[in-house]
Chain A
Amino acid sequence: MEKIGAVLVIGGGIAGIQSALDLAESGYKVYVTEKTTGIGGVMAQLDKTFPTNDCSMCILSPKLVEAGRHPNIELLINANILKLDGEAGNFKLNILRKALFINSEKCTGCGICGQECPVESIDIYNEHMVINSAAFVKYPQSVPLVFSINKDMCIGCGICQAVCKAHAVEYFQQDEEININVGAIILAPGFDEFDPAPLQVYGYGKYPNVVSSIEFERILSASGPYSGMVLRPSDGDIPEKVAFLQCIGSRDVHHAKPYCSSVCCMYTAKEAVIAKEHQHQVNPTIFSMDIRAYGKDFDKYIIRAQDEYGIRYIRSRISSIEENPRNNNLILNYESEDGSLISEEYNMVVLSVGLNPPDDAIKLSKIFGFELNEYNFCKTDHFTPSKTSKSGIFVCGAFAAPKDIPESVIQASASAAHANILLHSARNSLVTKKVYPPEINVEGQAPRIGIFVCHCGTNIGGYVDVPSVVEYAKNLENVEYAEDNLYTCSADTQIKIVETIKEHNLNRVIVASCTPRTHEPLFQETIREAGLNPYLFEMANIRDQCSWVHMHVPIAATDKSKDLVRMAVSKANKIEPLQRTILDMNHNVLVIGGGISGLSAALGFAEQGFMTYLVEKTTELGGHAKNIHASIEGNNVQEFLSNIIEKANKNENLKIFLESEIDTIEGFVGNFETKLKSSENKENDEGTLEHGIIVVATGGEQYQPTEYLYSKDPRVVTQIDFEKMLFESKFDEKVNKIVMIQCIGSRNEKNPYCSRVCCAEAIKNSIKLKDLYPEKEVIVLFRDIRTYGLKEKYYREARSKGVMFLRFEEDLPPELEKEGENLVIHVDSPNIGKVDLELDLLVLSVGIHPPYESNEKMAPMLKVPLNDDKFFLEAHVKLRPVDFATAGIFVCGLAHSPRSIDESIMQANAVVSRASTYLSKDEIEAEGIIATVDISKCSGCGLCIETCAYNAITMDEEKMVVEINSGLCKGCGACVSSCRGLAIDLLGYTDEEIYLVINEFK
């Protein structure tokens, strides 16, 4: 059967976008269907993201723009899948594109229709809190930026058609069915927020000051209904006391939402912190059962929330809310941990709603023929967490289980890896490679500048006197031609620009219109089509930064536009063609570490036909997994491990180096050279390995406890020891009373992070014990039980089987005492006070820590950073979770942070996809805007080497001058301004060019 080199991604949220970008960059044609009218999903609605408090839109919108502009990505908005035929490798789909009533090809997104529309409809993006018109765009930064008509609200008055200068309004646009052919499908339909309205006890929908967390997210946003001020809906006052209620629609068997939604503890902490930042008068209180801050750097965030922002945490689940009718305040009655009944009045209540499967989950499963799990999320297997039950259909994001942004992005790449493995033989078969005419040599030519000034409908022309700007521009130095356009970005204008360049022999082009952030690539492509180097282009932003912000002062706006054009002309006079460096791409991969992560990653590459070197320092493959018998879900880890090792041994593209370590690594993306050395005494003369990619899968280590008489008394063991007893039938049946202590070597001063897996480990072993010996007694001493996501089920199972859980506070840890031969543990619990527990066996849930020494050695060798806890630090916590800032190097598994086996596999898969975006190419194109060194001026001081965030600069020790690797340089220019000898310059933004522009600023 012929495999099709195209992939369909369902859903345009962050997960879908990431899958699409990965695959489009890996040589596949990608279709993305989105059921609303714009991509971006929930992330586009968020104000900030935890744990870094990054602005959500600021980090998302470049990805949106990239997806919108990518030549191999086709966005199908307002679309639903009707039918699927075929099988893995060759699917046929029938898709319904619902009418938008505005022609997307013609719409320029100028927004006049929305301004003129007489109907006030509801703004869904802002969670119904403000109004929008019936002719609308989902949100201002939406991709694609095209308007559509909300037919339910529209009264058909016809005004938008009359005012649309682009003639884009088409009231008779019909729904359209299209057929596409793809090799694989990725499901990324996301989640729906839990609707708290049916839970009448919280008064949501009845009391105005009870809002949902997603509404509060919009309240916090500067682009939201309250312009970022924290106000309450009943009277617009700043709420002093704000209560956040956790687990609304999560961990709730009564409302059929028994699972944990994984993200609410963190987003609630974030919302509380941001609320406090926006309005110092706000005093947030968070009511929660457990604080599940299980991710990388999450616990530190909670500590900061409490210590720096004074966020109050109360461990209680609120059962009901009453309103004080006098002032719309809300009265919360709750039972505190010690059992006393408390009643408090709050000004506002935020319900932290959980994540539900999307409402079309069942429909999707029927159309596509994959299975759902008991909660209607997509069913996956523990060891293939991104595969659905149907071959060729993969899943990512919250549809597989509730998860946060980085985990969604990881899984997005992981599912893309599966598509890569399935379709690699059809790679590059359907992508369009644009052919351009040869570049005209403009060297030595005097500048002949052409200027195109845009009216943008009336967006610019309505305020700025565009014809006078054109007249003004004509008289500037070396300007040969200037004209105005109704829309400079429209398709017909592009043809006109190409013709004008040819007709007037232009060799520099300026467009005065909107922002280069979205439109520069379009115009660069246009001038390239006319044979000009794309860098012979400048833009003057006279809309977003002029007409739109100076609407009431048209004369000043016109003057400013002229200034901006003059400044652009002065620079255009000096700009030169730039070349994007082409680097060869070696297709071999080096994977460091032979645990489950390393093995999974290595196989992902080898199965695509890439030669892969797997380096393991011990004598055998398998890493930590060798000690784990089962997952909490009951999957057989040992069987999986032996299968994957066998597969690795058999794969001829996979070369395994046991008892080997990295001696040296040289080079950069596409061109690495590595020498191995033998660990211990084994000889190793493999010579030098050449490869294009590095994967760091070096793992973590188990904390070796020094507390609680471990290694001094045989009755004190770790969970791993205990697991061995249970699963290998070595359990001493005389042992009757078992106590477990959580967070040993985690969440303390030395290791302030959560080790993520220990709660599940303790519960897994408790259940196993109860299944084998129901009469034995198990007490788990814990600080928070963090069975996040779908693991919550097992916490409930353990309790129902009689496992007891007793909480202790960080500063009052349990104390072990040996009374004669008896072990007694003293616990001071906030629930029941002080108790003494006799025990026969103490099981310590020890944490995971990084291999400090080897990480400290490896990081500088790879030129990649470690975080405070000495785990490897990824390029971006949210959106580049497995990449390093240095191109071509990736990280997965425990080297990144503590995580479970399925999560490690997911990350390993993600690495495969991220690296495939390089490996799929024979050569890689670097940026044209890069720094260059004038070696005659370089003194070799090395300041720039320290400044460079991308490790692109190295010292030529012989000549004592620096070299800049054009493949690694990202063109930020930091080295230029740090150079004390003015030896470095940045192409495209040279000192000379910038000083010229400064001179023109009058």
Chain B
Amino acid sequence: MTESKSESEKEFEPKILGFLCNWCSYAGADLAGVSRNQYPPNVRVIRLMCSGRVDPNFVIDALIKGADGILILGCHLGDCHYGEGNYEAQANYKMVDKLLKFVKLDNRVTLDWVSAAEGTYFAKIVTDFTNKIRSLGPSPLSKKSNPSIEIQLKMKAVKQVVYNPRIRKLVGRERNITLNENVYEEIIDKDEFDLLLNETLEAEYVRNQIYFHLEESPKSVKEISNKMGIDKKIIFEQLLVLRQRSLIDLSEIKGYSPVYKVKK
């Protein structure tokens, strides 16, 4: 892909947003400055007290606003100023990463650890990440790409997923129930949990997309399936859940196909 880049893409300078924790990574960035470690000027940093503060939606929102890449940097595991905030960041990142895979934007977001003593490493991370994003080209959501309605709708669906209380509950309890113990004083197998989380994320993502497609205009299962490129059976199953939750309703029946609409 890199070999066949056009002239205009070569000149592309990505806009990257960095979320840095106050205690390690932000200090590491300062050290890079003190040490005069040079790195590309593409990253804008938002300082947070802890990487655990990075709400999954910060990432999604930044991408929607057109960020080409997002760098989340925290303290090394075990070094968190607040104890385990970076583990929370890890759990949140995992969820965001899974979600962004659905829209093929996962390679534009990275989570890494930089200590206050790793100025050189910070510069390397920024350089490497910028190069990577540059080679990827502009985000399909950036103004340069003239984002399609499809990708916008998909991102809206993703955003809805990270706001979904069920998902937030799952992610929020993940560490407790897979590392410590759950209410039954048992530990849930990590793979088992991941499987559940995956299924839940995908289901919610598909449901939200269906919902937003219907919000545009009433549609049949077939029409939604064509738009989304997902098998009719899956669309129908998720549509039933939306109906069960009283979010959508039957609009009319066209021939043999029921047409659904959003419930106002």
Contact = CB atoms under 8 A, between A and B. Distances in A.
Contact of B256 (A118, A172, A281): A281
Nearest to B239: A236
B258 A236 contact: yes
Given A156-B182, A157-B177, A238 B241 contact: no
Interface in B137-152: none
B182 A158 contact: yes
Nearest to B203: A120
B81 interface: no
Interface stretch (B57-65, B155-163, B183-191): B183-191
A229 interface: yes
Interface residues of B, number: 37
B243 interface: yes
Contact of B258 (A154, A159, A234, A238): A238
B39 interface: no
A156 B232 contact: no
B77 interface: no
Contacts of A131: 241, 244
Contacts of A157: 169-170, 173, 176-177, 182-183
A234 B256 CA distance: 13
Contact of A159 (B169, B200, B233, B241): B169
A234 B244 contact: no
B188 A156 contact: yes
B233 A208 contact: yes
B221 A118 contact: no
Contacts of B71: none
A161 B183 contact: yes
A129 B182 CA distance: 29
30 contacts: A116-B165, A116-B169, A118-B166, A118-B167, A118-B170, A118-B173, A119-B170, A119-B196, A130-B240, A130-B241, A130-B244, A131-B244, A155-B182, A156-B184, A157-B170, A157-B182, A158-B183, A159-B169, A161-B183, A227-B250, A229-B250, A231-B258, A233-B236, A234-B233, A235-B222, A236-B221, A236-B258, A237-B221, A238-B253, A238-B256
B80 interface: no
A225 interface: yes
Contacts of A237: 221-222, 256-258
8 closest A-B pairs (Cβ-Cβ)? A156-B182, A236-B236, A235-B232, A236-B221, A157-B173, A171-B183, A118-B169, A238-B256
Interface in A109-127: 116, 118-120
A309 interface: no
A991 interface: no
B17 interface: no
Contacts of B116: none
A923 interface: no
Interface in B176-221: 176-177, 181-184, 186, 188, 193, 196, 200, 203, 220-221
Nearest to B235: A236
B25 to A, nearest CB: 30
Given A235-B221, A238-B257, A227 B236 contact: no
B232 A234 contact: yes
B188 A155 contact: yes
B110 interface: no
Interface in A220-251: 225-227, 229, 231, 233-240
Contacts of A130: 240-241, 244
A240 B253 CA distance: 13
B225 interface: yes
A119 B197 CA distance: 9
A227 B250 CA distance: 10
Given A208-B233, A229-B250, A236-B235, A158 B173 contact: yes
Contacts of B181: 156
Given A236-B258, A238-B256, A156 B235 contact: no
A155 B193 contact: yes
Contacts of A120: 200, 203
A156 B183 contact: yes
Nearest to A227: B243
Contact of A229 (B170, B196, B258): B258
A822 to B, nearest CB: 59
A235 B183 contact: no
Nearest to B257: A237
Interface in A258-294: 281
Nearest to B224: A236
Contacts of B193: 155
Contacts of B173: 118, 155, 157-159
Given A157-B177, A159-B169, A225 B240 contact: yes
Contacts of B235: 236
Contacts of B250: 227, 229
B232 A236 contact: yes
Interface in A549-577: none
Contacts of A231: 236, 258
Contacts of B220: 236
Contacts of B257: 236-238
A625 B97 CA distance: 79
Interface in B235-264: 235-237, 239-241, 243-244, 250, 253, 256-258
Contacts of A172: 184
A237 to B, nearest CB: 5
A240 B237 CA distance: 20
Given A130-B244, A171-B183, A235-B233, A155 B196 contact: yes
B209 to A, nearest CB: 16
A331 B221 CA distance: 23
A99 B156 CA distance: 42
Interface in A59-76: none
Contacts of A235: 221-222, 225, 232-233, 236
A233 B193 CA distance: 28
A118 to B, nearest CB: 4
A119 B232 CA distance: 24
Contacts of B183: 156-158, 161, 171
Contact of B240 (A119, A226, A234): A226
Contacts of A129: 240
A579 B221 CA distance: 59
Contact of B186 (A116, A156, A229, A236): A156
B244 A171 contact: no
A238 B184 CA distance: 45
Nearest to B167: A118
Contact of A233 (B166, B184, B188, B233): B233
B71 to A, nearest CB: 30
A839 B64 CA distance: 90
Nearest to A240: B256
Contacts of B184: 154, 156, 171-172
B170, B188, B239, B240 interface centre (most CB from chain A within 10 Å): B240
Contacts of B182: 155-158
Contacts of B203: 120
Interface in A749-799: none
B136 to A, nearest CB: 34
A507 B210 CA distance: 56
Contacts of A155: 170, 173, 177, 182, 188, 193, 196
A159 B168 CA distance: 12
B169 to A, nearest CB: 4
Contacts of A229: 250, 258
Given A158-B173, A171-B184, A238-B256, 4 more contacts: A234-B232, A236-B257, A238-B257, A239-B256
Nearest to A282: B256
A156 B188 CA distance: 8
B167 to A, nearest CB: 8
A150 to B, nearest CB: 13
A82 B29 CA distance: 68
Contacts of A159: 169, 173
A225 B243 CA distance: 9
Nearest to A117: B166
Max count, chain A CB within 10 A of own CB: residue among B166, B177, B221? B166
